[in-house]
Amino acid sequence: MRAAVLYEQGKPPVIERVEVADPKQGEVLVRMVASGVCHSDLHVINGHLPANLPVVMGHEGAGVVERVGPGVTSVQPGDHVVLLWRAPCNRCYFCGIGKSYLCPVAGQIRWTGCLADGTSRFSAGGRTLKHFGGVSTFSEYTVVMENAALPVRKDVPLDRVALVGCGVMTGVGAVFNTAKVEPGSRVAIWGAGGVGLNVVQACAMVSADRIIVVDILDNKLEMARQFGATHTVNARDTDPVQAVRDLTDGYGADYTFEVIGNPRTIAQAYEAARPGGTAVVVGASPVGETVSIEAASLVLQEKRLIGSLYGSTRPRVDMPRLLDLYVDGKLKLDELITRRYRLDQLNEAFAAMERGEVARSVVVYD
Ligand code: APR
Ligand code: ZN
């Protein structure tokens, strides 16, 4: 079988033949059907985020369970599954309080690139390869921990399901779960990409009043309007902080969202939140970089700057719910998929994302 392997940061992943071993205790083998092309993979390829190398890339995917290892009880062959790049261990404190995306076992899988027993199921030419986020979705087959494969309804096409595994959950969850935006709120969103458009549509779903979207590309701003933006600002020719203030009686927005991963735009989103308002950071900035905000404003204006990881997801509750909303015509997924690519075109898909041509691309396997 074939997979996309990153050998060196700063160089494109290589699509090549890879061996995948049988699933061990508590693991499942998944035949991938679709994998979304998310900016977080590009952050790793560019070296902005770390990963243990060499690694089979991809973290936004869905497929069909092919085989299960010993002791697996929650899924069976034939199940349609969405893959979770932060899977709950269901034993730790964080899983206990409903914040499994902070689970240290999941974190260890992300940072080591090994499954829970500390080993890997992938190899190429006798060399061991790591698992990205414990899921490695840019691969015709993948082995994941049982808890990383969440069964979903079978009437939703798996390319749509794949998007829920990262971008849709991350964007919608930032609004529903992290910020808990109230109806009538005025919101501003920086970045109308594959994740940001989901922040936009979630704000529209909870009846935010003003939905101001900031981007540097007019085609992205046009997409944002299709997803519910009421106002758009091109930050190339307009100061976005001033523009948001002008649209909110001079106060700033109740909630702002940064969905790019850039300390400069995080500072802008913070400045554009009103006194007592909340700026929510969804974009992952390069590790080690710092944000500069006026310290006194935290107190004198009681402003809040908070992070949102994976949409503060409770996967078993939220992901089936998002698919129900899609089937009921309330959540846009079809409109997110601008292009479909084969695995051997993956690097073209990354280039198209970098050029800002797509809302989301999806790699489909036959
Ligand atoms: N100001 C405004 N918009 C910007 C700027 C800027 N300075 N720089 C980039 N953008 C816009 C791009 O034009 C694009 O529309 O941000 C958007 C980013 O979208 P994508 O490349 O599709 O990235 P996406 O997959 O949505 O991820 C965004 O969220 O989960 C994180 O790791 C992910 O940090 C990444 C962020
Ligand atoms: Zn992602």
Shared-domain flag, residues 133 and 74: yes
This prediction has a pTM of 0.97
120 included as an active-site residue: no
Alpha helices in 252-357, H assignment, sequence order: 263-271, 295-300, 315-327, 346-354
Is 324 domain-assigned? no
User: Cα(163) to centroid of ligand 1, in Å?
Assistant: 16
Q: Which amino acid is at 322?
A: L
Shared-domain flag, residues 270 and 183: yes
Q: Which of 39, 42, 220, 237 to mutate to test the pocket of ligand 1 (most atoms within 8 A of CB)?
A: 39
Shared-domain flag, residues 260 and 292: yes
Instruction: Collapse the DSSP code of 26 into the 3-class scheme (helix H, G, I; strand E, B; otherwise coil) and give the result.
Output: coil
User: What is the domain-level CATH number for residue 358?
Assistant: 3.90.180.10
Quote the number of domains for the chain: 2
Is 322 domain-assigned? no
261 Cβ below 6 A of ligand 1: yes
Shared-domain flag, residues 338 and 214: no
Which residue in this structure is represented by tokens 């523009």? Answer: 243
User: What is the domain-level CATH number for residue 196?
Assistant: 3.40.50.720
Shared-domain flag, residues 18 and 66: yes
131 included as an active-site residue: no
Shared-domain flag, residues 129 and 250: no
Is 207 domain-assigned? yes
The per-residue b/e assignment along 26-53, b for 16 or more CB within 10 angstroms, e otherwise, is bbbbbbbbbbbbbbbbbbbbeebbebee
Shared-domain flag, residues 186 and 160: no
Mean pLDDT over the full length of the chain: 97
User: Cα(278) to centroid of ligand 2, in Å?
Assistant: 23
Is 148 domain-assigned? yes
Identify the nearest ligand to the CA of 285 by its number. 1
353 Cβ below 6 A of ligand 1: yes
User: Cα(333) to centroid of ligand 2, in Å?
Assistant: 15
Q: What is the pLDDT of residues 190-244, one digit of tens each?
A: 999 999 999 999 999 999 999 999 999 999 999 999 999 999 999 999 999 999 9
Shared-domain flag, residues 79 and 223: no
Is 328 domain-assigned? no
Q: From atom 20 of ligand 1, which residue's Cα is the shortest distance away?
A: 193
| Range of the structural domain that residue 190 is part of | 169-309
Is 343 domain-assigned? yes
* Annotated catalytic residue within 35, 39, 48, 59: 59
Q: What is the pLDDT of residues 77-97, one digit of tens each?
A: 999 999 999 999 999 999 999
Shared-domain flag, residues 175 and 269: yes
